[in-house]
Amino acid sequence: MSETLVQDPMSVAGLLAATVAAIFWLSELKPLERLFEFTPPVIYIYFVPMLLTTAGITPSASPAYDWLVRYLLPFALFLLMVSVDLKSVARLGWMAMVMVVAGTIGIVIGGPIALLLFKGALGPDAWTGFAALSGSWIGGTANMVAIAESVGTPESEMGPVIVVDTVVGYGWMGVLLVLSGIQGRWDRAIGANTRALDDTNRRLAEMDTQRHPVTLRDMAMMVGLGLAAAVASVNIGARLPRLGDPTIISGTTWAVLVVVTVGLALSFTRLRRMETVGASAAGYTGLYLLLAAIGAQADLRAVLDAPVYLAAGALWISIHIGLLFLVAYIVKAPMFFVATGSMANVGGAASAPVVAGVYHPALAPVGLLMAVVGYVLGIYGALAAAWLLGQVGGG
């Protein structure tokens, strides 16, 4: 193997952290605001580390990546879950919940169908890549990492997965932004119940959105509790049995299930107040560092396999879209809930508020809350999708 410019694990981790920081700094510059509005920072957090590895600057394998994947995932998930206001989510109303769940079901059934039709043109490990993608499309990229670790997705499959996630996922986001211009026609054509939007807008005004400057005490608590939860969940997961043939629930999966469940339970306690000082922001910071490490491990040459993956991904997302519009027609859901219900799954918290804000500027927070529903459903729904994919392609 040829040596890379940066090899020391701490230097690799430092370079990835600097890359993430630079991307977010650039995203706030006035000349680049429009670019980052339609191509969120998460895309660059994937691809810039991939380019660094392809250029021989960073290695494709490093102890730094192993540590980041092992501990930052439960760290991020704990802080994201403990900061969830499930009572506010429940107040969104039944229509919002139905559309998010319909989107999740569309992803769960669409993946196995797409794999069944395209498996002849794909390798034997393709199902693990599809499983990782199902994680990304049910709740966001944190779930992609969890499922990829759970089923043992090889690095050769991650390159095409990232391409499909970006091209198909964000391509669909672009279509949704365009469709915002015809939402009135859709709503009138099906006799949509727009009272749900009015009720949601009223309830949002009742929610507590107060934020405080973070103190040293706050930061110490968030980092300390997050790391303690991460280490505890990893140790517990390592002692629990693997389940499934092929393996669907591994030690990593157990760790994620433990930390998500405990985090959600603690969100009903005083610990949820950490969100007023940025617990979820700290969680996303850990998540983005983790995503940079995932990107650095991906082989960009695997993009050569992307055409078949892209076709499968397009079919997969089409099933998701078809089910969403069918359910929306049945329950008379406004186009707003179709768009946000889809992005709450496919794009997660990074994209759902953007799409929601385009449809109804005052309701951007609804997109975030619906994305929270996606995160909560994500790990459980993605495990179901991974099991089905394993049955289709793992034999």
The mean pLDDT of 105-132, rounded to a whole number, is 91
Q: What percent of the chain has pLDDT over 90?
A: 24
For residues 373 and 144, give the distance between their C-alpha atoms in angstroms, rounded to a whole number. Answer: 16
Per the domain annotation, does 321 fall within a domain? yes
Helices (H), the chain: 9-27, 33-38, 41-54, 63-67, 73-82, 86-90, 94-118, 126-137, 141-151, 155-164, 170-179, 183-190, 195-206, 216-238, 251-266, 279-297, 306-331, 335-346, 352-359, 364-393
**55, part of any domain:** no
Domain-embedded: residue 285: yes
Mean predicted confidence (pLDDT) in 17-21: 95
**Which whole number is the average pLDDT over 317-333?**
94
In a domain, 153, yes or no: yes
Structural domain boundaries enclosing 112:
73-393
Contact criterion met (CB below 8 Å) for 161 and 309: yes
- Express each pLDDT in 346-395 by its tens digit: 877 666 766 777 777 656 556 666 777 777 777 778 888 888 998 888 65
| The total number of structural domains that make up the chain | 1
Mean pLDDT of 36-59: 82
Tell me the Cα Rg of the chain: 20
Quote the percentage of the chain above a pLDDT of 70.
83
The band of 303, judged by pLDDT with boundaries at 50, 70 and 90, is: low
Q: pLDDT value at position 64? A: 92
Question: pLDDT-based confidence at 288, cuts 50/70/90?
Answer: confident
Q: How far is CA 89 from CA 200, 204, 279, 289, 377, in A?
A: 10, 10, 17, 27, 13
| Residue 297 resides in a domain | yes
Please report whether residue 5 resides in a domain: no
- What's the rounded mean pLDDT across residues 179-190? 85
Q: Do 222 and 282 touch, CB atoms closer than 8 A?
A: yes
User: pLDDT-derived band of residue 63, with 50, 70 and 90 as boundaries?
Assistant: very high
Q: Please report which confidence band the pLDDT of residue 1 belongs to, taking 50, 70 and 90 as the band edges.
A: very low
Work out the average pLDDT over 56-62: 87
State the greatest distance between any 2 C-alpha atoms of the chain, in Å, as a whole number: 63
Q: Tell me the mean pLDDT in the region 144-167.
A: 82
Residue 190 predicted with pLDDT over 70: yes
Q: Give the C-alpha separation, 221 to 231, whole Å.
A: 15
What's the mean pLDDT when you consider all of the chain?
A: 82
Does residue 246 have a pLDDT over 60? no
Count of C-beta atoms within a 10 Å radius of residue 205: 8
For residue 65, being part of any structural domain is answered with no
Confidence band of 318 (pLDDT split at 50, 70, 90): very high
- Rounded CA-CA distance 289/46 in Å is 10
| DSSP label of 282 | H
* Identity at 230, one-letter amino acid code: A
DSSP string covering 124-136: TTHHHHHHHHHHH
**117 has pLDDT over 50:** yes
Which pLDDT score is estimated for 110?
Answer: 94
- Peptide linkage before 246 cis (omega within 30 of 0): yes
CA distances to 38, 97, 129, 162, 195 from 374, rounded to whole Å, are: 21, 10, 20, 20, 23
- Residues 256 and 146 sit within 8 Å (Cβ to Cβ): yes
Residue 249 φ/ψ, nearest 5 degrees: -110, 105
Please say if the pLDDT value at position 21 is more than 80. Answer: yes
106 assigned to some structural domain: yes
Tell me what pLDDT residue 139 has.
67
Looking at residue 124, its pLDDT comes to 86
